[in-house]
Amino acid sequence: MSTVQFTLNGQSVEAPAGKSIFNIAKDLGIAIPHLCHKEGLAPDGNCRACVVEVEGERTLAPSCCRSATPGMQVQTNSERAVKSQKMVLEMLLADLPEQGHKWLDDRAEAPHGELSQWADHHGVTVRPALAAIKREAVPADLSHPAMAVNLDA
């Protein structure tokens, strides 16, 4: 099995070639926020909550779909990466109704499931300026007998 040597949060790491930065960090006990990455599904980096900073690169990289390369220097907890992670969580929270949906999580401490849990973990709350922006509610489409579409969920 081929391996790569790289630096993760200042520590030298050897990992299997092709393994994602997210999964390597997870194996090492490093928590990176994530919402769209699920075990068994192909990673696609849509939510952008798992971004990390790679030295020498202009943009932040989604760790779920980025493999480590030899000599790469990655920071999961740099000021820039954490600021971006928090901003993604805040913007997603701001676009949701204040109360959660029972099918997601009926516990008051996590009204929006994983999103609420990651926001709490990072101390993210929605700033009043973002909370004041409200879009018009979209009624649920219940026209199909076997499927309901609720865009506000």
Whether the CB-CB separation of 100 and 110 falls below 8 Å is answered with: yes
94 pLDDT exceeds 90?
Answer: no
Q: Which fold, 3-136?
A: Ubiquitin-like (UB roll) (3.10.20)
More confident residue, 25 or 126: 25
Helices 114-122 and 79-94 pack at an angle, to 10 degrees, of 140
Residue labelled with tokens 């909550």:
49
Q: How many angstroms from the chain centroid is the CA of residue 50?
A: 4
* Domain spans of the chain, in order of start: 3-136
- Please write the tens of the pLDDT for every residue from 4-63: 999 999 999 999 999 999 999 999 999 999 998 888 888 888 889 999 999 999 999 999
Q: What is the mean pLDDT of the chain?
A: 87
Predicted TM-score of the model (pTM): 0.79
Q: Answer whether 77's CB lies under 8 Å from 66's CB.
A: no
